[in-house]
Amino acid sequence: MKIGICNDHAGVEYKQKLIKYLSCKGHEVTDFGTGSTEMCDYADFAHPLASAVESGALDAGIAICGTGNGMAITLNKHQGIRAGLAWNTAIARLVKGHNNANVLVMPARFVSYRMAVSMVRVWLTTAFEGGRHARRISKIPLA
Ligand code: RB5
């Protein structure tokens, strides 16, 4: 898959490790995040990732900040984005199975890297269930 990843200063370490993990699994990864731990603003990285996923240039995205909320709030401003925040593997499974999240958002300051990589694995390998969930997500866009 073509996967984009973005992060602010709180997510640098997890981002770097996840790029290695995803590349080893054969994915093509585009890095939209910062490589520095200097303080920065999550929206500067979330918007370019969202645009790339929305346009179809990428299949999916992963976003990481301290709580995950700054990234999720920003990403979900884009009509074509369903960014779901997850902090354990059960939620990572449901956010794909039920919400068909095309961006997985994770809170680096509140989950271990081991949990983060497990969530990515589960989210990537879970299929959207469709059915009633397709009806529900069809009602999300404003336009
Ligand atoms: C950075 O300190 C922090 O605010 C950011 O990573 C994120 O948690 C925002 O929602």
Please indicate, yes or no, if residue 123 is contained in any of the structural domains: yes
Please indicate, yes or no, if residue 57 is contained in any of the structural domains: yes
Domain count, the chain: 1
Mutate to test the pocket of ligand 1, among 14, 36, 71, 85 (most ligand atoms within 8 A of CB): 71
Among protein residues, the one whose CA lies closest to atom 5 of ligand 1:
66
CA distances in angstroms from 114 to 49, 55, 72, 135, listed in the order given: 24, 31, 21, 34
What is the structure's pLDDT at 5?
Answer: 98
Please indicate, yes or no, if residue 143 is contained in any of the structural domains: no
Ligand 1 neighbours (beta carbon < 6 A):
8, 10, 42, 65-67, 69-70
Would residue 9 show up in a list of annotated catalytic residues for this protein?
no
Would residue 98 show up in a list of annotated catalytic residues for this protein?
yes
Coil, strand or helix at 60: strand
52 CB burial (10 A radius; 0-12, 13-18, 19+): middle
Q: What is the domain range of residue 61?
A: 2-137
Which CATH number characterizes residue 68's domain?
3.40.1400.10
Q: Compute the average pLDDT of residues 92-118.
A: 98
For the CA of 71, the closest atom of ligand 1 is 10
Please indicate, yes or no, if residue 142 is contained in any of the structural domains: no
- pLDDT exceeds cutoff 90 at 143: no
Please indicate, yes or no, if residue 86 is contained in any of the structural domains: yes
Mutate to test the pocket of ligand 1, among 39, 41, 67 (most ligand atoms within 8 A of CB): 67
Please indicate, yes or no, if residue 22 is contained in any of the structural domains: yes
What is the structure's pLDDT at 136?
Answer: 98
